[in-house]
Structure 1
Amino acid sequence: MGKKVVVKIKELTKANGISLRELSRISNVRKASLSELANGKRESISFSHIEKIAAALNIQDIREIIDLVDAEEPEQDIAQA
């Protein structure tokens, strides 16, 4: 089983009592980008976005923003098996 990097946007907004819109405003990262990260629709994040989010939320440890987890195996389509 492989590993996957997860960006913890939902956890950050909840822990800080702010919305994605507010995080976007204070970090200067587009709300659409934050939403895609929060919903697992985006597979990459730039270092500059990590830096902006960290600065906006006064985060000193990158592990508060990203995590490395076990990747789930893709489900096989039974019809194709």
Structure 2
Amino acid sequence: MGKRVIVKISELTKKHKISLRQLSRISDVRHAALSELANGKRENINFSHIGKIAEALNIEDIREIIDLVDDKD
């Protein structure tokens, strides 16, 4: 059993009280990409997206955005 990285989009939008669309607008990351990340539908994570989200939400600690979980496979 390995590990996988998840992006905590839903937690971020709740915590910062914004919608996915608002996050898309302020971070300049496509809504579809954010939605796929939120739903675990993306195999690859674009780290420039992580940087844009961190900058948009004024986040200093990357652990607020991503987490490492045990892979279910």
Q: State the TM-score, normalizing by the size of structure 1.
A: 0.86
Superposed counterparts of 1:23-34, under 5 Å: 23-34=23-34
Q: How many percent of aligned residue pairs carry the same amino acid?
A: 75
Q: State the TM-score, normalizing by the size of structure 2.
A: 0.95
Structure 2 unpaired stretches of 5+? none
Deviations 1:39-80 (A, max 9, x none): 11112221211110000000001111111011113xxxxxxx
Structure 1 residue runs of 4+, over 4 Å off? none
Separation in 2, partners of 1:47, 1:41: 16
3-state secondary structure, aligned to 1:21? helix
Structure 1 unpaired stretches of 5+? 74-81
Please tell me whether Structure 1 or Structure 2 has the larger radius of gyration of its CA atoms.
1
